[in-house]
Amino acid sequence: MSYEIKVLDLMDVDVESSFLVLAHRMGVVTRAKTWAYLILGGSDAILVDSGASSPEIMGRLGMVGYTSEHQQLESQLARHGVGLGDVRWILHTHAHIDHAGQDDRFPAATVVMTRRELEFSASGLMGAQYPPEYVKHHIDRLHTPRALRLLDLELSGPDEILPGIVCEMTGGHTEGSMNILVETADGTACFCGDIMYDVHNAVVEPYHVALDCEPQVTGNHALTKRQEKAAIKRALNSGRYILTGHDYPARVEHGRVVERMAGDTVPGPCTPVADWTRPAPSATPV
């Protein structure tokens, strides 16, 4: 089975830079992307993460979100001939405020996450990063036939949930985060969630790191720094592409990022790291 991945541009967010990379440019506000992804090529449309419920909800974290009409989820899906009712599966790297906010718009879909992520979201350990309305929606799905599938990856090991799509524990960011490994015509793509927000300063030129091949962690994680670093290394060695929740996709060779991608399709055109320039933000407030 070979899939094609579409990048869905759902929101821009103003965030303090050291949230993205630990201690980097402290006090400086940076605008970051928020992606979801559409997986095509199988019998059903598959969505990876669903974005925030609204840009305004980011204010609960002291952030400012911006969403244009073009960035509405239905608009992004329609660009690829997919409607809300066509989505059969929603796979969650994790269930934070900017990743699981529109699940209620897909009552006929099955949401897939780890059991540990559902437990962690209800624990209160990360506060407003798991809004109560999101948590309640997922709890309600527990009692709706086939509305929710929970994976026990830390016990079962990697699980091939659909042909050519394997889920494994991430081991970073949140206690229940998972990587989603998808087979494409050009090798495996690893959806690794938020173990990296800023690929360049995390792994291309790791900020304030002296060790060789040592990544820098984010300023927003629930596990130890060693676990976070290991999670990044695992993703870099999981395949040919890494797709994060907030930065542009990257192509990897032998555990190193060699090219970046600004298009909306993976596999797709790539730019060597040395020539890469991050595209300017496009969103304006609604």
* Model confidence pLDDT, tens digit, residues 147-175: 999 999 999 999 999 999 999 999 999 99
- What is the distance between the alpha carbons of residues 278 and 247, in angstroms, rounded to a whole number? 9
- What is the distance between the alpha carbons of residues 146 and 139, in angstroms, rounded to a whole number? 13
Q: What is the DSSP letter of 215?
A: P
Torsion of CA 227, 60, 75, 10, to 10 degrees: -30
- What is the distance between the alpha carbons of residues 155 and 165, in angstroms, rounded to a whole number? 18
Residues 264/71, Cβ–Cβ less than 8 Å? no
- What's the mean pLDDT when you consider all of the chain? 96
Q: Single out the residue of 110, 32, 42, 105 nearest to residue 72, CA to CA.
A: 105
pLDDT tens-digit map of 107-148: 999 999 999 999 999 999 999 999 999 999 999 999 999 999
Quote the pLDDT of residue 280: 82
Structure tokens, 137: 């929606």
pLDDT tens-digit map of 214-240: 999 999 999 999 999 999 999 999 999
Structure tokens, 59: 């204010």
Q: How many CB atoms lie within 10 A of CB 39?
A: 25
Quote the pLDDT of residue 1: 80
- What is the distance between the alpha carbons of residues 151 and 64, in angstroms, rounded to a whole number? 33
Phi/psi class of residue 245: alpha, beta or left (left: φ > 0; alpha: ψ in -120 to 50)?
Answer: alpha
pLDDT of 26 > 50? The answer is yes
pLDDT tens-digit map of 200-219: 999 999 999 999 999 999 99
- Alpha-carbon distances, residue 177 vs 160, 168, 239 (angstroms): 16, 9, 18
Mean pLDDT in residue range 10-31: 97
Q: How many CB atoms lie within 10 A of CB 212?
A: 6
Mean pLDDT in residue range 26-32: 97
Tell me the CA end-to-end span of the chain in Å, nearest whole number: 40
Quote the pLDDT of residue 282: 61
Asked if residue 107 has a cis previous peptide bond (ω within 30° of 0), the answer is no
Torsion of CA 271, 211, 19, 69, to 10 degrees: 10
Hey, where are the domains in the chain?
4-275
Residues 109/46, Cβ–Cβ less than 8 Å? no
pLDDT tens-digit map of 276-286: 999 987 654 44
Residue type, 197: Y
Query: What fold characterizes domain 4-275?
Result: Metallo-beta-lactamase; Chain A (3.60.15)
